[in-house]
Structure 1
């Protein structure tokens, strides 16, 4: 059995000192939002508890689906690299960037450079860049495919983008790993389903993503961005493909969104008859330890269809 942990939207804080020059961009909006909203409900001690419990479950691999930082300041990106080193070895942790990691022009490239060992495919030696996504890692009989939807957007927008080049490469990787009878997990930050988030946070290119999965197949899609523990699906050649979201990793109890969680996905068996169990672990009450919230068999998913 292979155990895959899924964590997202940790939004590491607190913010480092910021000067006025750094705020002369979209960062001004994010800075105000952090102090008015996020700083009250995103806490490192919450994330520490989540990570400690996750390690206690002894996963074989960890998938982090973006938004490690808030404003993509240089110091934030550096601190996120230190946090990743604590999370696990690069061989055992796979990362895809989120919109906050690409908050302003140039930030995406800096994140790729700093977090390179966690975003390189097997055998890849060059520094990750937009053209190297999606990447492929194979661990046992699991194929981890990391796509990117991260791109700087206008103020008050948090949209993602998935375009033709990446869609064509995703098709190729899904086809190759399908022929190898691997369990294919696609990681992306923005949910690749319509209506999963408000319009100003949506993914452009949902149709391209879904076409690739519908034609070549996949066993599981993991995403973040919504800060919600959702279970949706998109059409695949053998039936619905589960699309799994997760609550923000650093969210404390009392916010409008669910408190911090992580997903633990247990995969057993062999193609095409995989056994898949989704276990959600997280906080439920203030002062209470991380515990199991739910457990569900995804082998025959009873999930909400989303087009």
Structure 2
């Protein structure tokens, strides 16, 4: 059995010193949002507690589906790199970027340079860029496929983008790993499901992504962005594909979204008969420590729910 942990939307704080020059962009909107909202509801101490509990579960790998930072300031990007080092070595942690990691033009490239070790495919030694996504890592019989939907957008927008070139590369990886009999886990920040988030946060190219799933299939899709512990299904080449979201890792109780959670995916079986069990762990109200909140069997075309 392979145990995969899934965490997302860390939004590390506090913000470093911000200059007027930093705010002469879309960042002024995000800065106001941080001061009014995220500063009170995104709490680093909760993330630390969450990560400690996650590590105690002894996963074989950790998937991080984006939004490590808030405004993509240089200081934030460096802080996130240090945080990734504490989370685990690059061999054991796979990251895809979120919209906050590409908050303004130029930020995506800086994040790629700083976090490249956690966003590189097996055997890839060159620089990370838009053209190196999706990347592929194989751990035991699990194919971890990292897709990027991160791109700078206009103020008040948090959209993602999935273009033709990446779609073609994704299909090639899906076909190749299917031929090897691997369990294919696709990691993406924006939920590839229509209506999963409001219009200003949606994924452009969602139809293109879903077409790739219908053509090539996958066994599991993990995403962030919505800050919700969600479960959807997409049509795939071999049946329904579970699409699993997760609550934000640093979300404090009492906000508009569920408090901090992470997912554990226990994967067993083999080609054509993969058995995946999802366990959500997180806060129960304001109480610590964390507890199991829900268990879901994702095997087959129908999922069985067991709620605590």
Q: Give the TM-score normalised by the residue count of structure 2.
A: 0.98
- The runs of at least 4 aligned residues of structure 1 exceeding 6 Å deviation read none
User: Following TM superposition, by how much is the alpha carbon of 1:301 offset from its aligned partner in structure 2, in angstroms?
Assistant: 4.6
2:213 maps to 1:199:
no
Partners of 2:299 and 2:286 lie apart in 1 by 33
Specify the alignment match of 1:149 in structure 2. 149
| 2:73 counterpart residue number | 73
Q: Secondary structure at the match of 1:165?
A: helix
> Deviation at 1:169?
0.3
Distance of 1:170 and 1:288 partners within structure 2: 40
Q: What is the SS of the residue equivalent to 1:22?
A: coil
* Cα offsets for 1:19-56 (capped at 9, x unmatched): 10000000000000000011111001100010000000
What SS does structure 2 have at the residue aligned with 1:52? helix
SS at match of 2:12: coil
Structure 1's unaligned 5+ residue stretches are none
Structure 2: distance between partners of 1:246 and 1:23 = 30
SS of 1:155 mapped into structure 2: coil
Asked if 1:182 is matched to 2:182, the reply is: yes
Counterpart in 1 of 2:291? 291
**Mapped partners of 2:223, 2:180: distance in 1:** 24
Deviation string for 1:185-238 (max 9, x for gaps)?
000100001000000000000011111111111000000000000000110122
SS at match of 1:145: strand
**Shift, 1:292, TM fit:** 0.6
Which residue of structure 2 lines up, in the alignment, with residue 43 of structure 1? 43
Unaligned residue ranges in structure 2 (runs of 5+):
304-308
Q: Secondary structure at the match of 1:283?
A: strand
Q: Is it true that 1:137 corresponds to 2:141 in the alignment?
A: no
The whole-number CA distance in structure 2 between the counterparts of 1:286 and 1:172 is 45
- Counterpart CA distance in 2 for 1:172 and 1:160 is 22
Alpha-carbon distance between aligned partners in 2 of 1:302 and 1:50, rounded to the nearest angstrom: 30
Q: 1-side partners of 2:36 and 2:266: how far apart?
A: 38
- Structure 2 CA distance for aligned equivalents of residues 127 and 262 of structure 1: 30
Q: Secondary structure at the match of 1:115?
A: helix
Render the CA deviation track for 1:241-277: whole Å, top value 9, x for unaligned.
0000000000011101000000000000101001110
- Give the C-alpha shift of residue 302 in structure 1: 3.3
Question: 1:25 corresponds to which residue?
Answer: 25
Aligned-partner SS, 2:137: strand
In the TM superposition, residue 300 of structure 1 has moved relative to its aligned partner by 2.4
- Asked if residue 83 in structure 1 is aligned to residue 83 in structure 2, the reply is yes
Structure 2 CA distance for aligned equivalents of residues 34 and 275 of structure 1: 41
